[in-house]
Chains A and B, each alone.
Chain A
């Protein structure tokens, strides 16, 4: 937070640029040192694409710095462009998004409406942010071999609204599910060690929302999480297809969901009792750190 900004964006023209995209585009290709883009209070109604590595987007105010845009994925598919399907599209490494709000403002509950998406991003950090959508796939870091880290965020969405592929660690976040569907989703089919760790997060949503699901092989670790009464009694389920079972995803490693000290306010369900010691390597709760989750390849907590 204390880093001096390299570039300032202000909607009211008091900065170097009036749009975030213009600021990003001023950073040279091949950039390899941290560049901090300070985004002043204001609403920035647009999609952006980050293609430079080592960029930090830092909001002046978490609530009052807003990047927002209304886009359903299905509409994007009808006329795709090279910006992307999300409000913030990231195809770069070592990007940090901090202290701002990103909202996909399309109003319909349920359909795919990404806030953050990228297929080649890696070592992404998002902290102190609100990531909002009432559609599906709000936070979608989709590099099948990528790593992402979330801290102290508030995330809202319809279906699978925190849906990383590869390795992901999320802590101190609050999640809200706006329909009766799955909140979490993971694709860990790229490597048996891929995992999605969720620590000290709170889950809430409409009555009978679901904790999570998977289509492919996945691996979930939930530590010190709390669930509201509204969560339904269904473990993180594998999605299969009633009419076309050939669409069922790959399932080589079976159900892998590990829990420690996770509780539901009105009473626990049997499927989230402590079973962390049955995970590979029988880790203790305190072993489940970001560095451990990322196999020692990255420690985002610097």
Chain B
């Protein structure tokens, strides 16, 4: 196997009892709270049914096989809210920095289409990296990093599926080489920069697909989107990333001080482009060129997830 490209694991989890632990949570829990050095937890092939909470920094969860290492759990937001606990609403709940999730599948197996069914969530997480993973839900809010004040997240080579706002990001996020699939006629990506106007959601070289008349995205509050080298399937509806307003309670409309901020470069739809995703990157603040749109630029120089250090 290709284990050689990955760091040697510090801990091994195996559902069949052949590792140090049988559950991911048990392995995470042995790492001291003040952990300062990266600890890699190798998760062997198998299905791990449960929610996990990571509250310790500098942890890597590394699956043995992207498709056969499965962390899954059925949980709907509505049920969680009735009976909250300190684990969280998602299959994996992260309240820590410098967490890497790699080479595995995370699935919220709740079966109600469109109901909020988080796969990954955290309100205080930062410098999160998710690579080579499948993040699957048929509900809303699949990928939900929610640290709006300062959170930075990097996602690469993932498959992300969900129903509404299933890439739902507060703060700063760079997503590249990913495939997104939308199960209902609703918005795929969502962003909120209301706690930091420089926050942005960047998608580069990503593919969008879904059911007929799925929507690219929406926002409730101020937000900022950059899409570079993305492709849209024919099923995408002819609607730009729209601001959600409330038909019966306009007083619920979110802050909109900065209006629409959505910038496109070289984005195309199979079957013909829509007018609203033509190149306009030069109109973004600072008139960036497409090659300027890097993770380091996205994170304002505060983090470069691609640097070897």
User: Taking beta carbons and an 8 Å cutoff, which residues of A are in contact with B?
Assistant: 180-182, 208, 210, 213, 232, 234-235, 237-242, 244-246, 248, 251-252, 254-255, 270
Contacts and interface: CB of A to CB of B under 8 A. Distances in A.
A245 B239 contact: yes
Interface size class of B (residues with CB under 8 A): 20 to 34
Interface stretch (B23-31, B129-137, B142-150, B244-252): B244-252
Given A232-B251, A245-B215, A237 B245 contact: yes
Given A237-B243, A240-B244, A251-B240, A246 B185 contact: yes
Nearest to A245: B215
Contacts of B237: 245-246
Contacts of A237: 243, 245, 250, 253, 256
Given A182-B250, A210-B250, A213-B250, A239 B213 contact: no
Nearest to A252: B275
Given A245-B186, A245-B218, A251-B240, A240 B245 contact: yes
Contacts, number: 53
27 contacts: A180-B250, A182-B250, A232-B251, A234-B250, A234-B253, A234-B256, A237-B243, A237-B250, A237-B253, A237-B256, A238-B242, A238-B245, A239-B247, A240-B243, A241-B247, A242-B244, A242-B246, A244-B185, A245-B215, A245-B218, A245-B239, A246-B237, A248-B239, A248-B242, A251-B240, A251-B242, A255-B259
A246 B253 contact: no
Interface of B: 185-187, 213, 215, 218, 237, 239-240, 242-247, 250-251, 253, 256-257, 259-260, 275
Contacts of A248: 239, 242
A65 B247 CA distance: 36
B246 A245 contact: no
A245 B245 contact: no
A39 B245 CA distance: 44
A236 to B, nearest CB: 11
Contacts of A242: 244, 246-247
A255 B243 CA distance: 12
Given A208-B251, A240-B218, A245-B185, A235 B256 contact: yes
B215 A238 contact: no
What secondary structure prevails in chain B residues at the interface with A?
Answer: loop
A246 B246 contact: no
Contacts of B245: 213, 237-240
Contacts of A232: 251
A241 B257 CA distance: 21
A245 B250 contact: no
A180 B248 CA distance: 9
Contacts of A239: 245, 247
Pick the 3 closest A-B CB pairs, nearest first: A240-B242, A237-B245, A210-B250
Contacts of B259: 255
A255 B245 CA distance: 14
B243 A246 contact: no
Most chain A beta-carbon neighbours within 10 Å: one of B213, B239, B257? B239
Nearest to B275: A252
A180 B213 CA distance: 33
A255 B213 CA distance: 23
A186 to B, nearest CB: 16
A240 B251 CA distance: 14
B262 to A, nearest CB: 12
Contacts of B187: 245
Contacts of A213: 245, 250
Contacts of A240: 218, 242-245
B305 to A, nearest CB: 33
